[in-house]
Amino acid sequence: MKFVFFHLMPYPYLPDDFDESYPSPSLTFPNKHFDRELGNRLYHRYLDELENAEKLGFDGIAVNEHHQSAYGLMPSPNIMAAALARRTERAQIMVLGNAIGIRGNPLRVAEEIAMLDHLSNGRVVSGFVRGIGWEYFASGVNPTRSRDRFNEAHDLIIKAWTSEEPFQWISPNYEYRYVNLWPRPVQEPHPPIYIPGAGSTETMKFVAEHGHTYMSVYAPTPLVRRWFDGHRQAVEELGMEHDPVKSAFSVPIYVAETDEKAHREGRQHIEWLFHRGLKQSFPQVYPPGYMSPGSMRGMLMSGMKPYTETSYEELLAGGYAVVGSPETVTARLTELQAQLGFGQLIGLFSIGDITSDEMSRSMELFANQVMPALRPLGVANRVTAAS
Amino acid sequence: MTQVTTSEAGQGVSGPPTEGFLEIAGGRVHLFRGGGGAPVLFLHAAGGAGRWHEFHELLSRRFEVFAPDHPGFGGSDEFPELEGVDDLVFHYLDVIEALGLERPHVVGASFGGWVAAELAVARPDAIGSLTLLGAAGLRLPKHPAADLFLMTPEQVVGALFKDPARASALFPGAPSVDDVLAAYRDMTAMARFSWYPFLSNPKLERRVHRITARTLVACPSEDKVIPVAHGERYAELIPQARFSQIEDCGHAMYFERPEEFAQVVTEFLADVEAGTQLSGASR
C-alpha cells in the first residue's frame, strides 16, 4: 500500500450565521470573511503538516487546486508544491491536480511541473483535473468546452514534456506555433499522471490507455467499487495487468485513541467538510455542458444524495469517511481495501475545522499504528508498493 | 436538398400547427409552423424550445409562423460545429433558404432576440422586419444580465416572472429525470453560444446601425434578467426603431403575458405589411 497525505487547506473560520445565510463557501461567499492574519497562519500551519507527513512515513504529500472558495485555499497548487519541494527529501510531491480544463495556457502547467520536478529532484506527481463546476463561473471558461480542453491540454502537455524538437500545436482550443519546453522534466519520459474519475466510462478508458493512476472522489463504496472495477477492466481489456497502486482511494480519515473519543471529536470536522465545505447548488457543481448527457443520466439515476443531506452516520456507513481508534480504522480500511482493491490510499487528515493538535495526534496514530498493518495490502504480485 | 416532414401537433384556431423536421447542412432542425399570411420566423429564448405556445397561436391568426428550435435545443440536432452566435446567423440563413422564405419577418425573444439582431446586422436585406423582445446581445457593463446559469430552478422562476404564481400554473409537478436531462441539454446549448462573452457580442453595439429593416423593440416592464436598458439602447441605436413596453410583466414575456405580446407584435407587423407592398415580407 502506498500512503498519500492529502491537503485541501480549508479556511475553517466561517461566520456563525454561515449555515442560514450562505448557499455555499464557494464562488459567492464574500472574501471579507477571509481574515488576513488567521489566513496567514493557516498557510504556515498547513505546510508544516505536509512536511511533517513526510517525517511520519507517508510516501506522498499532496496538494490541489481550488478557486474563490473557503473549501480550499490553493488557487495555485504549484506554488504550494514549490514551497514543499526544497523542504522535503523523500516523499513524492503530488499536485492532485492542476485544473487544466480552466487554464488559459496549458503550456504554463507543463513548464511549472517540469520546474517542480527539478526543485524536488524528480519527486513530482502531476495530477490533472477539470476543475469543479463553480470554477468555470470563476474563470469565465466555457464549461461546454471543458472535456475537449482537458483532453487537448493533456495531450499537449505530455507532448511538450517528451518531444525533443520544437513543434507546432493546433487543436480546436489551443494553437501554438512554437512549443519547445525548457526545462525538460527530470523524470523520464515524464512525471506520473493522476486523474480523478467519478463514473465516466470514457475517463476509465482514457486513464487505462495512458497508464495513468485513477483516483476516486468522495462517494459511497458501491459507486467507488463500480468505478475501480471499470478502470481495472479497461486496463485488462488492453491486455495489461492492473497494478493496484494505480487505483487510488481518496478518503477523509480521523484517528483518536478510542472510538468514543474519535467520534466525539471527529464528527464536527467531518460535518464541516461535507455539510459546509461541500455545500453547493446543482448549477455550481454541474454547470451546463460540464457533464456529458450519459454521465448526467447516470448521476441522476444513481440516487446519490447531496453531501449536505447525508448524515454523519450515513457518511461513515457509506465509506465516505473513516473515523475511529487505530484498531477500528485499520479494520475498516482493510475491509474497504478488500472490497475496492486499491493499492494507494489518499488520506485527508486535515479535515474541515480540525485543530492543529487533533490533526497531529490523528496522523501520528495513523502513521504508527494503522500504516504498518495496511502496508502489505494492495500490492501487485510482481510490482513493489510505493513505486 | 430540403425536406419538411410533418406530423400534427397542438391545436389552433386558424388551422392546427404542423410539427416537423427541416434537413439542412449539419443536421435536422425541429420546428413548428402554423397559421397563414406573411411569414414570421420566430427565434425562441433560452427556455421555450420544442413547444407551440399560446403566443405562437395568437400570432398565427394573422401570419404564418415558423418556430424552429435552435441547434442543441428542444428537438433539433446538436450541430456541434456551431460555436457561437455568428455561426447561428449562417445557420438561420440556411433555414430561411431551406424553407423557401423571402424576407420573412424575424421575431426574436431574449437569446433569440440577440440572434435576430445579428442576422439583421449581417444581412439587412434578408429580412422583412425585425422584432426584438427583451433581447440579449448588447454588452452593457452598467446593466448586467442576470446569471441564469447559476440559478436553481426556483431562483430561475423568481427571476423570470413578475408573478411567480403564473409559473406554477405553467409548470405543474416535479420534473422527471427526462425533464431534467432535456432542460440540461437546452442550457448546455445556451452556454455553448453565450457563456463567454456572457450573453453578448461586444462588437454588436457598434454594428446595429447597419440594420435597415423596420424594427420593433418591446420590453417587459419588470425585466429582472435583461434590464430594460438593453432594449432602450437597441431602440436608440437602430435607425427609426419603435419602442414598446409591456406593463406588469417579467422576462418570461410571452409565457407571462402572451396576449399582450402577441398584440403588440401583430400590430407592428401589420403596420409593416400595410406600409410596404414591395419591401415587405413575402415567400
Nearest Cα residue in chain B from A300:
B177
Backbone phi, psi, residue B220, to 5°: -75, 145
Backbone phi, psi, residue A142, to 5°: -75, 120
Nearest Cα residue in chain B from A133:
B150
Report the pLDDT value the prediction gives residue B279, as an integer from 0 to 100.
Answer: 47
**Collapsed DSSP state (helix, strand, coil) of residue A36:** helix
Q: Give a yes or no: residue B280 inside a domain.
A: no
Report the pLDDT value the prediction gives residue B16, as an integer from 0 to 100.
Answer: 80
Query: Do the beta carbons of residue A146 and residue A136 sit within 8 Å?
Result: yes
Instruction: Report d(CA A202, CA B74) in Å as an integer.
Output: 26
- Please, what is the average pLDDT of chain B? 92
Q: Do B150 and A286 touch (CB under 8 A)?
A: no
Mutate to test the interface with B, among A24, A28, A132, A142 (most CBs of B within 10 A): A142
What is the value of ipTM here, to two decimals?
0.93
**Successive 10-residue mean pLDDT values, chain A, 387 residues:** 98 98 97 98 98 98 98 98 98 97 95 98 97 96 96 98 98 97 98 93 94 96 96 97 97 98 98 97 95 90 90 98 98 98 98 97 98 95 51
Nearest Cα residue in chain B from A282:
B152
Q: Give a yes or no: residue A386 inside a domain.
A: no
- CATH number of the domain bearing residue A169: 3.20.20.30
Chain A residues with CB under 8 Å of B181 CB are 293, 296-297, 300
Report the pLDDT value the prediction gives residue A269, as an integer from 0 to 100.
Answer: 98
Q: Give a yes or no: residue A380 inside a domain.
A: no
Residue B14: which pLDDT band, with cuts at 50, 70 and 90? low
Query: Do the beta carbons of residue A51 and residue A83 sit within 8 Å?
Result: no
| Residue B29 domain boundaries | 4-9+17-274
Give the up-direction half-sphere exposure of residue A281: CA atoms within 13 A in the CB hemisphere.
19
- CATH number of the domain bearing residue B59: 3.40.50.1820
Q: Give a yes or no: residue A216 inside a domain.
A: yes
Q: Do A296 and B181 touch (CB under 8 A)?
A: yes
Report the pLDDT value the prediction gives residue A385, as an integer from 0 to 100.
Answer: 46
**Collapsed DSSP state (helix, strand, coil) of residue B136:** coil
Residue B12: which pLDDT band, with cuts at 50, 70 and 90? very low
Mutate to test the interface with A, among B85, B151, B154, B196 (most CBs of A within 10 A): B196
| Residue A125 domain boundaries | 2-374
**Considering chain B, what percentage of its residues have pLDDT values greater than 70?**
92
Report the pLDDT value the prediction gives residue A381, as an integer from 0 to 100.
Answer: 67
Report the pLDDT value the prediction gives residue B7, as an integer from 0 to 100.
Answer: 39
Query: pLDDT digits over A160-185, tens only?
Result: 999 999 999 999 999 999 999 999 99
Query: pLDDT digits over A107-130, tens only?
Result: 999 999 999 999 999 999 999 999
Nearest Cα residue in chain B from A299:
B177
Number of domains in chain B: 1
Instruction: Report d(CA A341, CA A344) in Å as an integer.
Output: 9
C-alpha cell at A94: 503530488
Mutate to test the interface with A, among B73, B87, B148, B149 (most CBs of A within 10 A): B149
Q: Do A144 and B181 touch (CB under 8 A)?
A: no
Report the pLDDT value the prediction gives residue B167, as an integer from 0 to 100.
Answer: 83
Q: Give a yes or no: residue A156 inside a domain.
A: yes
Nearest-Å Rg of the Cα atoms of chain A is 20
A74 CA to chain B: closest CA distance, Å? 23
Instruction: Report d(CA B36, CA A288) in Å as an integer.
Output: 37
B242 CA to chain A: closest CA distance, Å? 35
Q: Do A293 and B151 touch (CB under 8 A)?
A: no
Q: Give a yes or no: residue A384 inside a domain.
A: no
Q: What does the pLDDT average to over B112-126?
A: 97
Q: Give a yes or no: residue B196 inside a domain.
A: yes
Neighbours of B255 (CB within 10 A): 23
Angle at B97 between CA B41 and CA B194, to 5 degrees: 55
pTM of the model: 0.94
Instruction: Report d(CA B218, CA B131) in Å as an integer.
Output: 8
Q: What does the pLDDT average to over B140-150?
A: 97
Q: What does the pLDDT average to over B101-123?
A: 98
Chain A residues with CB under 8 Å of B81 CB are none
Report the pLDDT value the prediction gives residue B276, as an integer from 0 to 100.
Answer: 67
Chain A residues with CB under 8 Å of B196 CB are 140-142
Residue B9: which pLDDT band, with cuts at 50, 70 and 90? very low
Angle at A316 between CA A315 and CA A320, to 5 degrees: 55
C-alpha cell at B213: 429593416
Query: Do the beta carbons of residue A61 and residue A3 sit within 8 Å?
Result: no
Report the pLDDT value the prediction gives residue B74, as an integer from 0 to 100.
Answer: 98
Q: Give a yes or no: residue B114 inside a domain.
A: yes
* Chain A residues within 8 Å of chain B (Cβ atoms): 27, 136-137, 140-144, 281-284, 286-289, 291, 293, 296-297, 300-301
Q: Give a yes or no: residue A223 inside a domain.
A: yes
- Of the candidates A298, A69, A76, A121, the one whose C-alpha atom is nearest the C-alpha of residue A197 is A298
Q: Give a yes or no: residue A387 inside a domain.
A: no
Q: Give a yes or no: residue B229 inside a domain.
A: yes
Task: Give Cα separations from A61 to A11, A81, A85, A92, A194 (angstroms).
Answer: 19, 9, 10, 6, 14
Is the pLDDT assigned to residue B114 strictly greater than 50?
A: yes
Number of domains in chain A: 1
Instruction: Report d(CA B143, CA B147) in Å as an integer.
Output: 12
Instruction: Report d(CA B243, CA A238) in Å as an integer.
Output: 65
Q: Do A300 and B177 touch (CB under 8 A)?
A: yes
B71 CA to chain A: closest CA distance, Å? 14
DSSP A30-62: -GGGS-HHHHHHHHHHHHHHHHHHHHTT-SEEE
Instruction: Report d(CA B12, CA A116) in Å as an integer.
Output: 68
Chain A residues with CB under 8 Å of B191 CB are 142-144, 287-289
Instruction: Report d(CA B209, CA B205) in Å as an integer.
Output: 8
